[in-house]
Amino acid sequence: MYTWEVKSPINNYSIVPYIGHYVNWSDTLQGEKGKLDLNYWVLDYDLSKAKKQFEQVKPMLRAFEYWFGPYPFYEDGFQLIEAPHLGMEHQSAVAYGNQFSNGYLGTDLSGSSWGLKWDYIIVHESGHEWFGNNITTKDIADMWVHEGFTDYSETLFTEYYYGKKAANEYLQGLRKNIANDKPIIGPYGVNQEGSGDMYYKGANLIHTIRQVINDDEKFRQILRGLNKDFYHQTVTSKQVETYISQKAGKDLSKIFDQYLRTAQIPTLQLKAEGDKIKFKWTNCIAGFDMPVKLTNGQWVHPTTTEQKIKLEGSKFSNIAVDENFYINIKKQN
């Protein structure tokens, strides 16, 4: 007979029974909050494959503690448990069914090949321990807070081990999966999710916000701050958005509104005029005002009213916007 206990608060969809002919082994990690117990449960005939594949757990936890702060459930330990389905973020008992191979069922969702360097389910479902299980939304209309940040955790994991160029390629590669069919935030009060874009577009929104903040250490401290200040809490998207604006010291509300509450991707219109460049936002909400970095390193702060400035050290024909911003560009000579 077994008795199981969870000491931390838990949301109801994070609870699941596992039944099977399991074998177990355990380990520990010296993490940011001390000794973390790790326990692995797999079906007996998968033991050798699992022991090899689950070596990715410790590096995953190290990377996520760096970006997000201490694993949120030290009191309950971290468990990875084989399941008959692909995977799920059950709190402190993550379900695993990714065939003990790298990628997402052996494929790379980004097409950049970086997604084949690691096991998608070990990384993604565990990322939910911070965004989904530690910070949980009150209404699933705001579920992008779970899936957008967790999708972005894949990019941050890639950055931690393979560098920024690799991470940017992975993140940009995910864009081919974005539908822009309807807003990411769904209707409130009726138990309904918004667009599936909450994953890849959510991650691209966070990455775009990171470019606007333009300070990687500040950005990392915001991610850690969210997990500390909203520790074991339920929140709204609005609270998370306001928190990020406050800590960034920039009003990002129009950017959040644009990407979360409409399905339109803002278009930056660029025109040449002698040695000057003219620019403005179109296909966007009133008052949209996101600054962007051009490929010559120059920052511009477009609004919905046309402005012009002198172009520094580059010809108009060579100018584009840094590809880390998820926007459309319309260029006219």
Tokens of 114: 């970086």
**Sequence letter at residue 146:** H
- Write down the least CB distance from residue 118 to Zn ion, Å: 15
Q: Is the dihedral of CA 158, 163, 166, 169 positive or negative?
A: positive
Interface mask toward Zn ion for 270-309; x: CB under 5 A: ----------------------------------------
Q: Which is nearer to Zn ion, 119 or 147 (CB)?
A: 147
- Write down the least CB distance from residue 5 to Zn ion, Å: 26
- Write down the least CB distance from residue 150 to Zn ion, Å: 5
Side-chain half-sphere CA neighbours of 306 within 13 A: 9
Segment interacting with Zn ion, rule: CB under 5 A, options 61-69, 101-109, 150-158, 314-322? 150-158
Interatomic CA distance for residues 145 and 107, integer angstroms:
25
Interatomic CA distance for residues 129 and 31, integer angstroms:
15
Give every CB contact of residue 290 below 8 A, 6+ residues apart in sequence: 208, 212, 254, 255, 258, 266, 281, 302, 325, 327
- Write down the least CB distance from residue 124 to Zn ion, Å: 6
Q: Which is nearer to Zn ion, 150 or 208 (CB)?
A: 150
Interatomic CA distance for residues 56 and 329, integer angstroms:
39
Q: Which is nearer to Zn ion, 141 or 290 (CB)?
A: 141
Segment interacting with Zn ion, rule: CB under 5 A, options 139-147, 160-168, 171-179, 293-301? 139-147
Per the CB < 8 A criterion, the answer to whether 175 and 326 are in contact is yes
Q: Which is nearer to Zn ion, 41 or 200 (CB)?
A: 200
Segment interacting with Zn ion, rule: CB under 5 A, options 74-82, 147-155, 165-173, 319-327? 147-155
In 3D space, the residue among 104, 146, 140, 141 whose CA is nearest the CA of residue 121 turns out to be: 104
Q: Which is nearer to Zn ion, 173 or 302 (CB)?
A: 173
- Write down the least CB distance from residue 153 to Zn ion, Å: 9
Tokens of 301: 């702060």
Residues at the site binding Zn ion, with contacts judged by CB under 5 A: 147, 150
